[in-house]
A and B are shown apart, each in its own frame.
Chain A
């Protein structure tokens, strides 16, 4: 994988950006790199990168998130520390961008610094199992809306097609055609396919790079 200094994950609401961002930050850390993860989600009141804060910090990853995330303070907020992600160029930054174009608006203020440094990957996370991105054309429309909102063009695609705990290899295989079409329509490369780690060995080798991920645990 071609690692950039800044990696931003955005995509349709519920595409799995947060989980990918958390797993990618852990991956970078496992390479021995200094890593910080920024939770730029101003849309979701529940299920955020902050849920994984203890695990990330135990791995030595700095987590930058609103003090209000997961609290009862229902305001979209971004802490000033978020600027560290663009200012501290010795640390690898992973950003979890909120859902859809509304979520991507928050990225706008960091965009000039990210574009100026020009060492970033802006990744579109795609899940074909979501109702509003069942085909490449509808995914492309969302991609364009996000780009318009934040002013940054995407540089690659991650296939994160899944049905949560019910994901089977066929779930992912059913997405291959849509992903290939999305690659063509957008002229962007597929960077990897994210797969729950126990499913990774069950997939064929000709679908590109496989990125094994762990799911966040729940008590239900």
Chain B
């Protein structure tokens, strides 16, 4: 392992993308992810890559489509309002079965909202966000180290399944500084026989398109795509368990909320409450298997989120409403304190309902 260095989350993910072989970054500045663009602006020209500040978010995502169609590892990054603008292009990527990395360093919403951290784009990220039947692979880091690690994972899975991947971080993850060890590994190379690389007169032209002229053809494309989604759901669910061996109360939290919750669980354990946590790392596919297994053992669930309660729906669906699920949340740029999470755990343990 390389010697550890101190990095901002935004810097770590940018450097990891470069190490993962990404040489094409198209973006537009927005707080709190501007450091990604600033870092790429400094680094890309030095390594023969392309950094391009587009005229808008819509232009940036369409440039990602172009680079991805040419078989290149491409990415863009933004924060919540900018992701809304990109959603049309993201839908086109899904419709074209193009890989690529889209980073959302979330801030408070809706509307212009604020610049402080949030997880309120959970629905947008996990349900597709744009129009049409599609999913993104959604990865949720909870440390600066994971900001880097999941960039590698995201590019690899995105190309393996030809699905756009979203790294769903938040302002705290983007701005915080922590020690990081950047992996010394080369980028995984995936064959892309579908890419527009020039026929050289040796093959028929590849066509990348999301327009189907016949309805039955469009239906067939969607069905084939959903077969791939089923494989992803089966094979790629990722989560981390904390103190779940004997847990009776299961906290479910991702990203920064999981960090706060971990402290709260330590306190709850000191109080004699058997609390544990499942931290989803993939938000889509949601770690249903881990949740379902926990529902056999735990008497209640607490969903801790930086929004008005979005992931809680997936928690309830995963456990098929077999146990009560309560919500502990702050929104608008606020973060739940460990004490607030402890209070929610205590209440769940007493059988009270919060949400």
Minimum CB–CB distance from B305 to chain A (whole Å) comes to 15
A129 and B178 alpha carbons, distance in the complex (Å)? 10
B341 nearest CB neighbor, chain A only: A219
Using known A-B contacts A46-B175, A164-B177, A219-B338, determine if residue A72 contacts B8 with beta carbons closer than 8 Å. no
A74 at the interface (CB under 8 A from B): yes
Residues of chain A in range 177-220 having any CB-CB distance to chain B below 8 Å: 219-220
A14 near B: Cβ within 8 Å?
yes
Interface string of A40-68 (1 = CB under 8 A from B): 00001111000000000000000000000
Query: Residue of A at shortest CB range from B142?
Result: A220
A-contact 0/1 string along B1-28, CB 8 Å cutoff: 0001111100100010000000000000
B301-344 interface with A by 8 A CB criterion:
333, 335, 337-338
* Alpha-carbon distance A39/B179, docked complex (angstroms): 26
Q: Using Cβ atoms and an 8 Å threshold, which residues of chain A touch B256?
A: 220
B154 within 8 A of A: no
With contact pairs A72-B333, A131-B11, A131-B15 given, residues A164 and B113 touching in the complex (Cβ less than 8 Å)? no
Q: Is residue A116 within 8 Å, beta carbon to beta carbon, of the partner chain?
A: no
A72 touches B115 (CB 8 A): yes
A166 at the interface (CB under 8 A from B): yes
B260's contact among A130, A163, A220, by CB below 8 Å, is which?
A: A220
A159 sits at the interface (CB 8 A): no
Question: Which chain B residue has the least Cβ–Cβ distance from A130?
Answer: B6
With a cutoff of 8 Å between Cβ atoms, the chain A residues found around residue B114 in the complex are: 72
At the interface, yes or no: B116 with Cβ under 8 Å from chain A?
A: yes
Which chain A positions have C-beta within 8 A of B124? none
* Chain B residues near A220 (CB-CB < 8 A): 172, 256, 259-260, 262-263
Counting contact residues on chain A (CB < 8 A from B), the size range is 10 to 19
Is B108 interfacial (CB 8 A cutoff)?
yes
Report whether B108 and A163 are in contact in the complex, using a CB–CB cutoff of 8 Å. no
Q: Which residue of B lies closest to A15 (CB)?
A: B6
Q: Is A7 an interface residue (CB 8 A)?
A: no
Q: In the complex, A46 Cα to B5 Cα: how many Å?
A: 20
Could you tell me if B113 and A72 are in contact, using CB atoms closer than 8 angstroms?
yes
CA distance A127 to B4 in the complex (A): 13
Query: Which of A44, A46, A130, A164 has most chain B Cβ within 10 Å?
Result: A46
Determine the chain B residues whose CB is within 8 A of the CB of A219 once the complex forms: 260, 263, 335, 337-338
Whether A23 sits at the interface, judged by CB under 8 Å, is no
Proximity bits, A97-141, B CB within 8 Å = 1, else 0: 000000000000000000000000000000101110010000000
Of the candidates B6, B31, B116, B172, which one forms a contact with A14 in the assembled complex, judged by CB atoms under 8 Å apart?
Answer: B6
Known: A14-B177, A164-B179, A219-B335. A46 touches B172 (CB 8 A): yes
Q: How far is the CB of A194 from chain B (nearest CB, A)?
A: 14
Q: Is B7's CB under 8 angstroms from A131's CB?
A: yes
Report if A164-B7 is in contact (Cβ < 8 Å); known contacts: A74-B115, A219-B338, A220-B259.
no
Q: How far, in Å, is A73 (CB) from chain B's closest CB?
A: 8
Chain A residues lying within 8 Å of B130, measured Cβ to Cβ, are: none
Q: How far is the CB of B11 from chain A (nearest CB, A)?
A: 7
List the B side residues contacting A127 at CB < 8 Å: 6
Q: Which of B206-248 contact A (CB under 8 A)?
A: none
**Does B171 sit within 8 A of A, measured CB to CB?**
yes
Least Cβ distance of B22 to chain A in Å?
17
Tell me the complex Cα distance, A14–B335, Å: 23
Q: Is B338 a contact partner of A47 (Cβ separation < 8 A)?
A: no
The interface bits of chain B over 97-108 (1 if a CB of A lies within 8 angstroms of the residue's CB, else 0) are 000000000001
Whether the Cβ atoms of B115 and A45 lie closer than 8 Å is yes
Chain B contacts for A130, CB-based, 8 A:
5-7
B31 touches A45 (CB 8 A): yes
Interface positions, chain B 131-187, Cβ under 8 Å from A, are 171-172, 175-179
In the complex, B32 has a CB within 8 A of chain A: yes
Q: Least Cβ distance of A213 to chain B in Å?
A: 15
Of the candidates A14, A134, A166, the one whose C-beta lies within 8 Å of that of B8 is A14
Selected contact of B116 from candidates A44, A72, A131, A163, CB within 8 Å: A72
Q: Which residues in A have their C-beta under 8 angstroms from that of B171?
A: 45-46
Contact status A47-B175, CB under 8 Å: yes
Q: Which residues of A contact B263 (CB under 8 A)?
A: 219-220
Q: How far is the CB of B8 from chain A (nearest CB, A)?
A: 6
Min CB distance A16 to B, Å, is 9
* A162 lies within 8 A of B6 (CB): yes
Within 8 Å CB of B116, what residues of A? 46, 72
Give B contacts to A, CB under 8 Å. Answer: 4-8, 11, 15, 31-32, 108, 113-116, 171-172, 175-179, 256, 259-260, 262-263, 333, 335, 337-338
Q: Which residues of A contact B (CB under 8 A)?
A: 14, 44-47, 72, 74, 127, 129-131, 134, 162-164, 166, 219-220
Listed by A's residue number, 22 A-B pairs whose Cβ atoms lie within 8 Å are A14-B6, A14-B7, A45-B115, A45-B171, A46-B116, A46-B171, A46-B172, A72-B113, A74-B31, A129-B4, A130-B6, A130-B7, A131-B7, A134-B5, A164-B178, A164-B179, A166-B178, A219-B260, A219-B338, A220-B172, A220-B260, A220-B262
